[in-house]
Structure 1
Amino acid sequence: MEMARRIGRCCRPFVALLALCGHAAVAFAQLQPGEDATATLARADLTKTSDHQKFVDTLVRLENDSTRLTEKQRAHLQYLEAWQVAYAGDYDAATPLLETVAGSSPDKVLRFRATATLINILGIGHRYQEAFSRLTELTDMLPAVTDPQARLQGLGEAAQMLATAGQYDLAADYAERMIQSTPAGDSACKGTFIKLHAMFRGKRIDGTDDRYARGIADCQAAGENLIANALRADVADTAIRNGRPRDAIHVLESHYAEVLRYGYPSLASQVESLLAQAYWNENNTDAAGKYASAAVKSAPGGEYSEPLAVALRTLYLIARKQGDFQSATQWLERYMQADKGYLDDVSARALAYQMVKQQVVSSRMEADVLDRQNQILHLQREVDRRSIETSRLYIVLLLTVAGTIALWLIRTKRAQLRFMRMARRDSLTGICNRQHFVERAQQVLLASHKAGRASCLILFDLDHFKLVNDTYGHSEGDWVLLRVVAECRDHLLQDDVFGRLGGEEFAILLPGVDEADGMKRAELIRAAIAAPPAGGPSSARVTASFGVACTRRHGADLDRLLVVADEALYEGKSAGRDRVVVAVAHSGAGKARAPVAPLASKPLGLARS
């Protein structure tokens, strides 16, 4: 890994300084007599990741004998050198090298490939708007690209960039096109990885899917061990989330030395961070600390990433467990900074994608306007020749302009509505906030009432939640809230309305559900929340008290349902918490039904209210 970093710092001329970077044995090697430089470049290009050391040594030989190369061969070498600088993590140095190739190479295929690599570098360098702008250019060029390797690279970069913006389904589609474009007899390893990882991030599959085992085997058979280890990282991540840390350790440690040999900082940091999590879950603080420290050192400089944040959090937990509160405070501050930086970066990617998408739409509309303006000029010339049709042509012109303006206004309004929808979501959990929940719930209640269907309102509040924040901190409390929301979503249907009313209080409207089924659904959710966490960053356990109110008994007025459900909820709290209480009648007419006994035994319960 240190070798790779040194290569990145060496920059241009690439090979002249390579001898200073630990490659004295090959620094003065040259091409063999009669060796075909074009074929050598092609072989090096194909083995960039499968045999990286051989790739670097080949670049050394080619640079030492560059006077024998043609202009086209030198351009190819220049692109591969720029790729290596980027691979080593020196993105600031790689960017101008790639821009030179993309802007001046005599080979249009190399220009396309340099643009694809530049997109990757811009994304890693957090220059997301530039990256997505370049991606638009790349996708426009794709139909005209016939070179198989260049086409695969372009599709791959498109898929990966879309995945960084959270467009996982679209990314998987591009990756599938990449797989379909793979020449017969070649490995589809890279496309398979991108597709599986996009589906993994989009929570369509997890590491237990059979396609992961097949993908790892295919990549190993093709010599793409770097990508095979990236797939193993997803498998290990799933094992940790499913409470099987020992399986994750077995998957990763047997290939850890191989990961380090490749000198790819991002993958090394990810693998080390996962090992740190696994060992922490195994209560092996020494090993967890070793790998967490390694993950922090391996993380690319100047970047905030999920592995870095998780590693820093692990170091904080270890220091706290050991009673080193000074170190714990320092690690916590670094973790909170890295976690916030990573989450801000995720939002920046998504926003940049939407902004560029809007710019593309606007540019195309402007092009349409210009095209129509040209049509108008042509029509005006026709008017000069055919005065008899003057009035009719003016009508056509006015309608054309009016239609263009109307289309522009409609699309602008749609963009505004998209941003309004974003404002209706709770910033932490992503579910409806209080105002939007009330609006949607009233609409759904009215529709169900008109259709003659019953509906149930579930109101629940986490028990003694304040102790989670007081004991572990607000960051831990946020993780608990996210887990509670995830557990609830596993038990909701498409038409159900789910919202956070504030703090640790949530509400769920179940349309078309009667009182018995509403009680059963609430009990399932209660049991899921009370269950021990299955891995993940938070070890805190909470319970919740539930109040259920149904329209058959209390009418379809949302305000009244909220009141009686709230009374039932607090009836459950008074009865001992961690239970479901169904509201039988309003406070003025009777009491709530006796609480439903929990399905599971009482949890350890960290309290709030």
Structure 2
Amino acid sequence: MYHPGQTLRRFGLAGLLCLGCGAGAVAMPTVPVSPTPASLLDRADSGIKLSDHAQFARLLDQLDVRRNELTSEQRWHLQYLRGWQAAYQGDYDRSRAILDEVLEKSDDDVLRFRASATLINILGDGRRYQEAFLRLSQMQDQLPQITDDAVRYQGLGEAAQLLISAGQYDLATSYADQMLAHIPPGESTCKAMYFKLHARYRSGTLGDTEDPMLRDGIAACTSSGQSVFANAMRADAAGVMLRMGRATEAQALLQRNYADALRDQYIPVSAQFEAMLALANWKLGDVPTAEKFARLAVASNSKSGVTEPLSMAYDVLYRIAEGRGDYRDALDYHEKFMAADKGYLDDISATALAYQIVSQQVQGKRQEVQALNKQNVILKLEQALDRKAVENSRLYITLLLTVIAFIVFWVYRLKRSQLRFMWLSRQDSLTGICNRKHFIEAAEGLLRHAEKAGKPVALLLIDLDHFKLVNDTHGHTVGDQVLKRAVDACIPLLGHRDLFGRLGGEEFAIILSDSNHAHALHRAEEVRAAIANARITDAPTDINISASLGVVTTEYSGYQFRQLLINADHALYKAKRDGRNRVVSGREDGATILPFAAGEKKVVLER
């Protein structure tokens, strides 16, 4: 099940909101009685874009009516604002077409810089991450030449937002600190505080609403009328509360500000509220309210592709249907949850991979420039050597070989770095075993091969007992030691063809190749006993570990991985319900799951 803050997935607040800090960021107190087109344009390109978006849209309509009164420069400025508005409303194709035209035809360097920054965000939302990071790299090279404080503020904010999505939290925080150190006239600390706090949330170091920096950030955004950012910070705080088991406080915080989030008409924030409200109410036992908010979150994300709120909402709906005994709907929601969750994790991996690829490309281009400069030097030396004695030609040959060796060495290092990154993307960073994405892909491939060969395969679903209590009592550092110790206890029991992966949190799975039902139960009991015998001795007090296991085989559940996982999950639920620290088998006869404890079967065989 989804655990807030555990995976720290990407929040939906788009970086384009920072782009409200361009030229003319100081909002005029009133519109003149007979406003000129220039004054209307200045007012439209102010903080009103976020504080009163409806009024911003009306100003653009007025400017369109008076387009003939605008200069060429003012028309391109209006065109840029139309592109910004389309991006805010989620119409990325139209926004990109408008901003591309501004980049191509406008003579205003500052306006083109702002259009480029907005395009970076659009490319990110369109999951064109590599192109987005390439444009970001180009924009960062232009920053030293930008003297306008407001535009620099905008560029730094875009860099911070995109780097957060790539998991570069320290670098993103440094950009946010630069924003805080140079607040343009008319701006508040709101946006810079949000980027810094959101980087802390994603890295797992953010406290809840008692965190002084969080309180200051929400206050700054509220006082400056930027409720979108204030509510985004509240959603981060609620996520921390849910992770800490404080569902009542999280529900109260979200419910208190939900109407305000709806008024902003910014779907990524309101959908996050709805998904978290669904999870909080489910944890509190209010199933009807949880179902209502989960369905609202699904509806809000119907056109947004795979997102964190969508995955969270489907997981809550699955748990509700399962609790009602409606296994058909539960299976349908579980499949949707797995698809959304897998897509979301793929999206996060793609973002991080794009950042690494672009970083290596930029580094590679710099190396190429250096190599070309060295080659130019060599060519000049070669011309000089032609006028010298033959023995001096040896120096040229030596230099040439050095350059070639340098290039070969650089290519080797680059290739090795790429291979290492691909390997790391398949591994769980804490335990060293397969991560969820790689485990599912490998398991599906193994099942296809076994089905063709006609060999049985077993799936063991493992969940550590009372793990949340360990985290709450001893802290996450000890919790991490428990996870690693449990994995270390299991690894010696696995064969070279078996597959071991971490699905998330304290949940693990093992695929046993060429294993029938009886053999799988025996192996599962060995795993349970090994975990139960493991100890954490370097904690303040000794900690006993135990695990509950659900076991299914292809003999009863077929070779479809999702069906194996559903049946194993039912068996695991039975093991938890019957007292934990036991193995339960899930066998499917018709449409009924018939679980039984491995220990009971063993007693029967001994008789």
Same fold (TM over 0.5): yes
Separation in structure 2 between the aligned mates of residue 481 and residue 100 of structure 1, nearest angstrom: 55
Partner of residue 150, structure 2: 149
> Structure 1 residues 217 and 502 mapped into 2: Cα distance closer, same or farther (>3 Å)?
same
Deviation, structure 1 residue 73: 0.9
Q: Which amino acid aligns with 1:38?
A: A
Partner of residue 45, structure 2: 45
Separation in structure 1 between the aligned mates of residue 536 and residue 166 of structure 2, nearest angstrom: 42
Structure 2 residue 607 is the aligned partner of structure 1 residue 607: no
Separation in structure 1 between the aligned mates of residue 293 and residue 527 of structure 2, nearest angstrom: 48
Deviation, structure 1 residue 105: 1.4
Structure 2 residue 404 is the aligned partner of structure 1 residue 405: yes
Separation in structure 2 between the aligned mates of residue 158 and residue 32 of structure 1, nearest angstrom: 36
Structure 2 residue 280 is the aligned partner of structure 1 residue 278: yes
Partner of residue 478, structure 2: 491
The TM-score with structure 2 as length reference comes to 0.68
Of residues 36-45 and 322-331 in structure 1, the stretch that sits farther from structure 2 once superposed is 36-45
CA distances 1:33-64 after superposition (whole Å, capped 9, x unpaired): 75243343233222211222221111111111
The residue matched to 2:201 in structure 1 has which SS?
helix
Partner of residue 121, structure 2: 120
8 Å CA contact 1:169, 1:199 repeated in 2: no
Partner of residue 87, structure 1: 88
> Structure 1 residues 395 and 248 mapped into 2: Cα distance closer, same or farther (>3 Å)?
farther
CA distances 1:348-368 after superposition (whole Å, capped 9, x unpaired): 111111111111122122222
Separation in structure 2 between the aligned mates of residue 378 and residue 163 of structure 1, nearest angstrom: 46
Deviation, structure 1 residue 371: 2.5
> Structure 1 residues 261 and 397 mapped into 2: Cα distance closer, same or farther (>3 Å)?
farther
Separation in structure 2 between the aligned mates of residue 143 and residue 271 of structure 1, nearest angstrom: 38
CA distances 1:123-168 after superposition (whole Å, capped 9, x unpaired): 0001111111111111111111112221111111111111111111
Partner of residue 314, structure 1: 316
Alignment RMSD? 4.0
CA distances 1:376-427 after superposition (whole Å, capped 9, x unpaired): 444445556xx248854x5554454444333333333333443454466594
Deviation, structure 1 residue 90: 1.3
Deviation, structure 1 residue 169: 1.2
> Structure 1 residues 284 and 491 mapped into 2: Cα distance closer, same or farther (>3 Å)?
same
8 Å CA contact 2:535, 2:545 repeated in 1: no
Of residues 34-43 and 246-255 in structure 1, the stretch that sits farther from structure 2 once superposed is 34-43
The TM-score with structure 1 as length reference comes to 0.68
Partner of residue 206, structure 1: 207
Partner of residue 228, structure 1: 230
Separation in structure 2 between the aligned mates of residue 365 and residue 415 of structure 1, nearest angstrom: 11
The residue matched to 1:413 in structure 2 has which SS?
helix
1:2-21 paired onto structure 2 within 5 Å: none
Structure 2 residue 414 is the aligned partner of structure 1 residue 418: no
Q: Which amino acid aligns with 2:106?
A: S
1:198-597 paired onto structure 2 within 5 Å: 198-207=199-208, 208-299=210-301, 301-382=303-384, 387-388=387-388, 392=392, 394=393, 397-422=396-421, 427=426, 429-431=428-430, 433=432, 490-491=477-478, 505=491, 573=529, 577=532, 580=535
Separation in structure 2 between the aligned mates of residue 292 and residue 305 of structure 1, nearest angstrom: 13
Partner of residue 499, structure 2: none
> Structure 1 residues 499 and 171 mapped into 2: Cα distance closer, same or farther (>3 Å)?
farther
Deviation, structure 1 residue 570: 7.5
> Structure 1 residues 211 and 364 mapped into 2: Cα distance closer, same or farther (>3 Å)?
same
Separation in structure 1 between the aligned mates of residue 44 and residue 526 of structure 2, nearest angstrom: 70
Residue ranges of structure 1 left out of the alignment (5+ in a row):
1-30, 436-468, 508-535, 543-568, 583-595
8 Å CA contact 1:45, 1:80 repeated in 2: yes
> Structure 1 residues 65 and 33 mapped into 2: Cα distance closer, same or farther (>3 Å)?
farther
8 Å CA contact 1:424, 1:432 repeated in 2: no
> Structure 1 residues 202 and 499 mapped into 2: Cα distance closer, same or farther (>3 Å)?
same
Partner of residue 12, structure 2: none
Separation in structure 2 between the aligned mates of residue 59 and residue 86 of structure 1, nearest angstrom: 15
8 Å CA contact 2:173, 2:195 repeated in 1: yes
1:62-101 paired onto structure 2 within 5 Å: 62-101=63-102
8 Å CA contact 2:470, 2:479 repeated in 1: no
1:153-172 paired onto structure 2 within 5 Å: 153-172=154-173
Partner of residue 567, structure 2: none
Deviation, structure 1 residue 231: 0.4
Structure 2 residue 35 is the aligned partner of structure 1 residue 35: yes
Separation in structure 1 between the aligned mates of residue 69 and residue 527 of structure 2, nearest angstrom: 87
CA distances 1:272-291 after superposition (whole Å, capped 9, x unpaired): 11111111111111111111
> Structure 1 residues 423 and 100 mapped into 2: Cα distance closer, same or farther (>3 Å)?
closer
Q: Which amino acid aligns with 1:605?
A: R
The residue matched to 1:186 in structure 2 has which SS?
coil
8 Å CA contact 2:536, 2:543 repeated in 1: no
Separation in structure 2 between the aligned mates of residue 404 and residue 220 of structure 1, nearest angstrom: 58
Residue ranges of structure 2 left out of the alignment (5+ in a row):
1-30, 435-458, 494-502, 509-524, 549-575, 584-597, 599-607
Q: Which amino acid aligns with 2:335?
A: E
The residue matched to 1:605 in structure 2 has which SS?
coil
The residue matched to 2:147 in structure 1 has which SS?
coil
8 Å CA contact 1:105, 1:111 repeated in 2: yes
